Amino acid sequence: MSSLEELSHRHEDEAKLAESETVPRGAPILELRGLQKKYGLVEALKPATVTFLAGEIHAIVGENGAGKSTLIKLLTGVIRRTAGEVFWCGKPVQLATPTEAIKRGINAVHQEVVLCAHLSVAANMFLGDEMDRYGLMRKGAMERAAQAVLDDLGFLLPAGALLGSLTIGQQQLVATAKAAMRGIRFLIFDEPTAYLTRQESAQLFRLIRRLRDQGVTIVYISHRMEEVFELADRVSVLRDGTHVGTRLISETNDNELIALMINRTIEQIYHKEKVPIGKTIVETKGLSGPGFEDVSLTVRSGEIVGLYGLIGAGRSEFALGLYGRQPLSAGEVFWDGKKVDIRNERDAMELGIALAPESRRDQGLCLNLPIGLNINLPIFKRLSSGLVIRKGDEAANADQQIRNLSIKTPSRRVLASAMSGGNQQKIVIGKWLSHGARLFIFDEPTVGVDVGTKAEIYRLFGELLKKGAGIILISSYLPEVYELSDRLHVFRGGRLVASHDHRAASHEDVLTQAIGI
């Protein structure tokens, strides 16, 4: 018996519990019947019926926002379902808490590593389940055992090293090894290779196959088609919160899956105002900085320039670089044809650039401050005489933006944290409407907002364009950038890899370029 199997059967009582709930390989281990999740009125997952078989690798694919994360959270007990039934080994179960999911042997390895950076690799692998004798930890024994597992898996990692000293990819491998040690039955991987090198991915795949051969059911979520075809036995496709089909990997191909992933029904939402395109506002030449390299593009007045790519493709980094938040390492920026030097955010604002950043929570809003203060934050200078704020103007501007954007609040004094995702996004946008910028950068403006709010945000784009502004629209949601952009640039690995005029390329081509098959 190898060291991994030995450790995974360390706790006899748990093994017994697990044995009472077994199904033969190939039989349904987890069945979802009409599983549904609603947040308020928003249906994050429409009633889905999916069966997972014992000992299979079941891939789940779908665009960002298709409902993959919601599904994982439901399966791991992080959130509770709104409706539907879940059967585990043929018996109905609640899966109401993470503890219940873990007790049944359901575990997840997340994209973001949730381990303690300041503890050793071995300490992390045994965290919460330490080996002890007379209440004292057996550090040496744990380190030896952990090293045996790592060697067994061929990971070539030192068990005594601090976790924080490893790369993100190596940390991901440790997290996987930790999950594998716990005698799991059902393991979910959420885009595990996002930060892995090719070699690390290969190690991970070996481990996944080995777990499958031991009878563990694997759910593998990924954007990368080639991985799905390399690993999976079956694949389920989600689109806009709907489960649109499950296929045997041997009976499907890239094109069918991509066609299933892309929504063709709600194109009418993506209505772009027809505005005559004017002079060039900004031009970048060979712009490079942290996370992006050699990006050259132009934005003209009246134009939406879309930046499409997977998460981490360098689009947001480019935006932050252009906005002066990140130092540029090479390249030039021309504003109205003149070379400019953007050293910080205030330089960018001075020129007339506005940025609605990717994360409302971390970058966009002061959540525990009133809506009014958030809206006025970029323009307090204009609302003040000297240093003293003209209270009347302050209130008037906030109220005007609240009305203009139909932000649903009784007062500008309500805290931003009390607003829903869609209304929060409107506050972020409202900040920049009164600023009077000429180039608007919207980074994922419609993540976590419902369809109605999306349509309102697109209508605002039209108004900005009519006033002669240019827009850079960053989105991971293809239909959005595809339909709205006058010009669409595709990013991959920090570089601009392809450019298309409005609707000049097919969805399939764009997706293929972004994924890089």
Partner 1 sequence: MSVETTTESAPAPKKGTNILLGLTLLGLLLFLWLLLGLSTNAFWSPNNISNLLRQGAMTAILAVGQTFVIITAGIDLSVGAIVGFTSVIVAWLLQAGVPLWAAIILTLLMGVAIGAFHGFGIVRMGLPPFIITLATLTSLRGIGLLITNGSTISINHEGFTNFSRTDFLGVPSLFWMVILVAIPAFVFLHLSRWGRYLFAVGSNAEAARLSGVNVNRTIYLAYILSATCAAFVGLLLASRIGIGNATQAEGWELQAIASSVIGGTSLFGAVGSVHGPLLGAFILATINNGANLLNVNSFWQRIITGLLIIVIVYFDQLRRRGSR
Residues that bind partner 1 (CB under 8 A): 39-40, 64-65, 69-70, 73, 79, 323, 325, 345-346, 349, 355, 357, 361-370, 373, 376-378, 380-381, 383-384, 387-389, 391, 409-411, 413-415, 417-421, 424, 431, 447-448
Contact assessment for residue 163 and residue 124, using Cβ atoms and an 8 Å cutoff: yes
**Cβ closer to partner 1: 244 or 373?**
373
Nearest to 433 by CA among 391, 405, 396, 392: 405
Rounded distance between C-alpha atoms, residue 81 and residue 66, angstroms: 17
Strand partners, 234: 58, 248
Shortest distance, position 378 Cβ to partner 1, whole Å: 4
Strand partners, 259: none
Rounded distance between C-alpha atoms, residue 477 and residue 412, angstroms: 32
**Cβ closer to partner 1: 44 or 216?**
44
Shortest distance, position 313 Cβ to partner 1, whole Å: 17
Shortest distance, position 383 Cβ to partner 1, whole Å: 7
**Cβ closer to partner 1: 147 or 434?**
434
Shortest distance, position 70 Cβ to partner 1, whole Å: 7
Shortest distance, position 83 Cβ to partner 1, whole Å: 18
Main-chain phi, psi angles of 303, to 5 degrees: -120, 140
Which residue, chain included where needed, has tokens 């997977």? Answer: 310
Supply angle C-alpha 512, 516, 517, rounded to 5.
75
Which residue, chain included where needed, has tokens 């019926």? Answer: 49
Shortest distance, position 376 Cβ to partner 1, whole Å: 8
**Cβ closer to partner 1: 329 or 344?**
344
Shortest distance, position 322 Cβ to partner 1, whole Å: 13
Shortest distance, position 20 Cβ to partner 1, whole Å: 34
| 35 dihedral zone (left: phi>0; alpha: psi -120 to 50; beta) | beta
Rounded distance between C-alpha atoms, residue 200 and residue 384, angstroms: 56
**Cβ closer to partner 1: 162 or 389?**
389
**Cβ closer to partner 1: 20 or 368?**
368
**Cβ closer to partner 1: 91 or 391?**
391
Rounded distance between C-alpha atoms, residue 448 and residue 111, angstroms: 19
First-residue to last-residue Cα distance in the chain: 39
**Cβ closer to partner 1: 224 or 360?**
360
Rounded distance between C-alpha atoms, residue 194 and residue 196, angstroms: 6
Shortest distance, position 432 Cβ to partner 1, whole Å: 9
Strand partners, 189: 109, 220
Which residue, chain included where needed, has tokens 């946008």? Answer: 429
Tokens of 475: 């989105």
**Cβ closer to partner 1: 299 or 365?**
365
Which residue, chain included where needed, has tokens 């090479």? Answer: 330
Contact assessment for residue 441 and residue 273, using Cβ atoms and an 8 Å cutoff: no
